[in-house]
Amino acid sequence: MATARPTVTLPGIVLGAGLGGFLDGILLHQILQWHHMLTSTDTDNIGVAHYPATTVHGLRINTLWDGLFHTFTWLAVLTGLALLYSRVTRARGRLWTSRALWGWVLVGWGLFNLVEGVVDHHLLGIHHVRTGPGQLWWDLGFLALGALLVAGGWLLQRGARPVTAEPAEPAEPDTAARRPS
């Protein structure tokens, strides 16, 4: 009996939608600043209040909606990767529940926080976690969170059992050895 081969159609579409959304949000919303999620609501067709990015209130609302947009694209990328991964390995169940995988994910997240925090908040001073009174404490808290993520991730993966891939097809039992003579 032939089994259907899984395709990469659905994972490709979901992953492409997520990555395309990231490109749109990062390039057009943030780098070029050509638009935000709600900057054209003065001419929209659904009656949303106008939130111009030229006012503090408008920029805050647009930033919120840009963040919600990026949350959606991030979830799409995760979903696309999960779908893709599920089609290329049989050990996926063990991997996705593996303490090793999630430990290293936490280490990577913590390293990002530490590098970005030291470089951008302290060395370059180009932004702070929260500008204003107490900004140093916010920046130090961000670094502390990064250190906790690295330490926690390291401890989590350290005690994990290794995940090894299964063979692509289960081995056939040796029926010749069981034949009666």
> Cα separation of 74 and 106, whole Å?
17
What is the span of the domain harbouring residue 33? 9-88
Would you say residue 33 lies in a domain? yes
pLDDT band, very low/low/confident/very high, at 34 (cuts 50, 70, 90) = confident
What pLDDT is recorded for position 80?
A: 87
Decide if 29 is inside a domain: yes
Closest CA to 143 of 171, 94, 110, 102: 110
* Together in a domain, 15 and 83: yes
Are 152 and 129 part of one and the same domain? yes
Report the domain count for the chain: 2
Establish if 96 belongs to a structural domain.
yes
Q: Which two tokens stand for residue 97?
A: 């529940």
Is 174 part of a structural domain of the chain?
Answer: no
If asked whether residues 24 and 83 sit together in one domain, one would say yes
Q: What is the pLDDT of residues 61-110, one digit of tens each?
A: 999 999 999 999 999 999 988 887 777 666 666 666 778 778 888 888 88
Average pLDDT on 4-16 reads: 79
Residue with the larger pLDDT of the pair 116 and 181: 116
Instruction: Answer whether 0.75 is exceeded by the pTM.
Output: no
- Residue 35 above 90 pLDDT? no
Is the Cβ–Cβ distance between 66 and 29 less than 8 Å?
A: yes
Is pLDDT of 1 > 80? no
**Residue range 129-158: average pLDDT?**
91
| Claim to verify: residue 96 and residue 131 sit in the same structural domain | yes
Of the candidate ranges 100-109, 134-143, 144-153, the one whose mean pLDDT is the lowest: 100-109
Check the CA dihedral 110-111-115-118 and report its sign. positive
Distance CA 146, CA 137 (A): 14
Asked, for residue 104, whether it belongs to a domain, the answer is yes
Same domain, 96 and 147: yes
